[in-house]
Amino acid sequence: MNSFILSPEAEDDIFEIWSYLANEANVEFADHVESKLFDDFALLSKSPGLGHKRQDLTSIPVLFYRAFPYQYLIIFRLKTPLEIVALLHAKRNVKNILKNRETR
C-alpha cells in the first residue's frame, strides 16, 4: 500500500514528464525516471523531513525535494498519507506555475 497520494495535478505532471522524456529520449529512459520519482515519493513518505520550505516560490504550506540526479522538484504536503501536489522541472517558472494552480 502506498504511503503517499498524488493530486490530480501531480498525476498530470508525471504524465507530461514521461511523455516528454519518451519523445525526446526513449521509453526506457522515461520509465526509469518515472520509477525513480516513485521511489522518491516512498522515501519522502518515510522521511518527510528531507523536504524544505521555499517561501521565495510559494506561501502555500508545502515542502520541496529535489529528485536527484534529475532536476525535478517534488512538491508535497505533510499529510497522512503524504500528498504529492506537483512535480516540476527546476528550470520552469515554478513560482508562476504554483501561483496559477493555487488560484484554481
Report the pLDDT averaged over residues 62-88: 96
pLDDT at 33: 98
Domains of the chain: 4-102 (3.30.2310.20)
From residue 42, how far is each of 9, 54, 93, 96 by CA, in Å?
A: 18, 21, 26, 27
Give percent of the chain with pLDDT exceeding 90. Answer: 94
Predicted confidence (pLDDT) per residue in 19-43, tens digit: 999 999 999 999 999 999 999 999 9
Report the pLDDT averaged over residues 65-76: 96
pLDDT at 1: 55
Tell me the whole-structure pTM to 2 decimals.
Answer: 0.93
pLDDT at 102: 80
In this structure, the strands spanning 82-89 and 4-6 are parallel
pLDDT at 13: 98
